[in-house]
Amino acid sequence: MEIFIALFATLVTLFILLLKLVIGGLAYFLPTVIAVKRRHASKKALFWTNLLLGWTFFGWIATTAWACLGEKRY
């Protein structure tokens, strides 16, 4: 019985870790998602800027502002 409890605890821990990774990834690439949804004219440049500078707080904020305020295509 103890082995099943240990296995269950491990599976729950892995599930929580995976959930955190998915939510963190979505939060990290939120500016890119916004740019794609808005059909931003510079979405490729936004993606690369987000990928390379998004790990800094300033880079993430600047990329989010660029995605929200930039010109969109119709």
pLDDT, tens digit, 9 for 90 and up, residues 1-58: 889 999 999 999 999 999 999 999 999 999 999 999 999 989 999 999 999 999 999 9
Residue 24, SS3? helix
pLDDT attached to residue 45: 94
Is residue 57 situated within a structural domain? yes
CA 70 to chain centre: 20
Is residue 70 over pLDDT 90?
A: no
What is the domain range of residue 40? 2-69
Is residue 44 situated within a structural domain? yes
Is residue 58 situated within a structural domain? yes
Q: How many domains does the chain have?
A: 1
pTM: 0.77
Is residue 74 situated within a structural domain? no
Confidence of residue 74 (pLDDT cuts 50, 70, 90): low
Is residue 51 situated within a structural domain? yes
Is residue 9 situated within a structural domain? yes
